[in-house]
Structure 1
Amino acid sequence: MGIKIDKGTTKSLRIGGICAVVGLVLGIVGTLFVSNYNPPDSIGERASVVFGRIVSQNELVSVSQDYNITDKQEDANSFFGLFDIPFTNNSFWYRYAGTIKAGVNLQTAELETSGNTLTVTLDPAYIISNTPDMEKSGVLEENNNALNPIHVEDVDAFQQWCVEESETQAVEGGLLDEAQTEAEARLTQLFTAALGDDVTVQFVWREAPAENAES
């Protein structure tokens, strides 16, 4: 039994608050403390020390987005796929809510220094997690049919569609671009806090893998 997506599907996506980078600021403070008592000779060496502390945090979660998808699913038994059999319709309204987090993998970051200019090379931002909010998610209305009952796999298929749809809309809405912009701002702030305002931080973003670019 396949699931049909009603034309009147209601979807809403809203931008959530910027996620804090837990422990990162404390790590930089520790780096500054050590540097004050045992300062490296050049800005490049000091930048490497700070960069090492940043990379040790691995993923930099930079933005999150809440979503709420409400959709009516309908189904009917068919006669060899030629036409729907009368009186076999079923349907249910379901709300699926959750939060998507996007960020940057710092483990693959690279740093180059030239004078007071720091060049940070990063992989593209990606979706780190997609967590459902089961307190808000669930069936809103159900119209079952003894001739064609709603099955668990129908609900599972709808939930999977919601996950894919929420991520598609997040990417199309620019969530990954926002994550990269926020990552640049955060990393720049960390470097300048540790090394001073005379430092210039620039970024190079690697191209996304072919399979991601096509999806």
Structure 2
Amino acid sequence: MSKKQNQSIIRKMISITIVALILGAVCFLGGVLLAQRSHSGKTSVTSDTLFQQLRSVSQLTTVEYHYTNMGKFEKNADLNGWTIPLTKASFILAYDGKITAGVRLDDVQIDVQDKTITITLPPAEILSHEVDEASIEVYDESNNLFNPISISDYAAFSKQQKTVMEGKVVDGGLLEEARKKAGEVISQLLETANPEYTIQVQEAKEA
């Protein structure tokens, strides 16, 4: 499957949500700042004050990807690198998972020049990857007396499959979508708190 086709599939499957906590922080913080501004008069805007405005959201989560994955595990016993016949053991593992992606605000750079606030965001990254333990099901388990399946086989295969899924969603454009949504939320927050300023959001250039 081509990268373009993979991106199309991911975009159709992806569930994009601005986390309610983030939106609540935007509305709450913006209201507080506006109330403070109305009582204390004009406030000087600096990089420090802007960091204070963003502090309530230290880790900005903007995109969630929910999926159901199914993978097949196989192993054969071997002796000195040679596969021993009739020792194959296998199983199919199915489970539901959730990947969240966004940007870490601790790494944001802020620059204030005249009436323009420039926000430089770090690249988006996968922030968490959770598997619903209750959803895990094992199918077509084929154990072998001479090569039994162990608990470590299940754990290692599950970890491998999580890595595979992360690669798929990254190739499908999840991080690009997360970066876009992060910029939108930050712009909304700062525009609400600093209406007299022009907000510019950009991504940090790779070294």
Which 10-residue stretch deviates more, 106-115 or 61-70?
Answer: 106-115
Unaligned runs of 5+ in 2: 1-8
Could you tell me the percent identity over the aligned residues? 30
Q: Which residue is 2:15 aligned to?
A: 16
TM-score normalized by the length of structure 1 = 0.80
Task: Give the letter aligned to residue 56 of structure 1.
Answer: S
TM-superposed deviation, 1:63: 0.7
Query: Would you say 1:40 and 2:39 are equivalent positions?
Result: no
Which of the two has greater helix per residue?
2
Decide whether aligned partners of structure 1 residues 205 and 65 sit closer, same or farther in structure 2, where only a CA change above 3 A counts. Answer: same
**CA RMSD in angstroms, aligned pairs only:** 2.3
CA distance in 1, matches of 2:126, 2:206: 13
Which 10-residue stretch deviates more, 22-31 or 144-153?
Answer: 22-31
Query: For the Cα contact (< 8 Å) 1:96–1:159, is it kept in 2?
Result: no
What secondary structure does 1:56 align onto?
coil
Task: Give the letter aligned to residue 92 of structure 1.
Answer: F
Query: For the Cα contact (< 8 Å) 1:21–1:62, is it kept in 2?
Result: no
Correspondence 1:89-104 to 2 at 5 A: 89-104=88-103
What secondary structure does 1:57 align onto?
coil
Decide whether aligned partners of structure 1 residues 85 and 110 sit closer, same or farther in structure 2, where only a CA change above 3 A counts. Answer: closer
CA distance in 1, matches of 2:93, 2:53: 45
Correspondence 1:107-146 to 2 at 5 A: 107-146=106-145
Task: Give the letter aligned to residue 204 of structure 1.
Answer: Q
Query: For the Cα contact (< 8 Å) 1:31–1:50, is it kept in 2?
Result: no
Q: 1:205 aligns with which of 200, 203, 206?
A: 203
What secondary structure does 1:31 align onto?
helix
TM-superposed deviation, 1:40: 2.6
Decide whether aligned partners of structure 1 residues 21 and 115 sit closer, same or farther in structure 2, where only a CA change above 3 A counts. Answer: farther
TM-superposed deviation, 1:150: 0.7
TM-superposed deviation, 1:21: 5.0
TM-score normalized by the length of structure 2 = 0.82
Decide whether aligned partners of structure 1 residues 76 and 95 sit closer, same or farther in structure 2, where only a CA change above 3 A counts. Answer: same
TM-superposed deviation, 1:111: 1.9
Query: For the Cα contact (< 8 Å) 2:71–2:161, is it kept in 1?
Result: no
Query: For the Cα contact (< 8 Å) 1:121–1:205, is it kept in 2?
Result: yes
Unaligned runs of 5+ in 1: 1-11, 210-215
Query: For the Cα contact (< 8 Å) 1:28–1:54, is it kept in 2?
Result: no
**C-alpha deviations, 1:32-79, integer Å up to 9, x for none?**
11111112355x35x864552223321111111112221111122224
Correspondence 1:1-215 to 2 at 5 A: 14-20=13-19, 22=21, 23-25=24-26, 26-42=28-44, 44=45, 49=49, 51-82=51-82, 84-196=83-195, 199-207=197-205
Q: How many residues align?
A: 194
Query: For the Cα contact (< 8 Å) 2:110–2:119, is it kept in 1?
Result: yes
Which 10-residue stretch deviates more, 29-38 or 198-207?
Answer: 198-207
Query: For the Cα contact (< 8 Å) 2:16–2:62, is it kept in 1?
Result: no
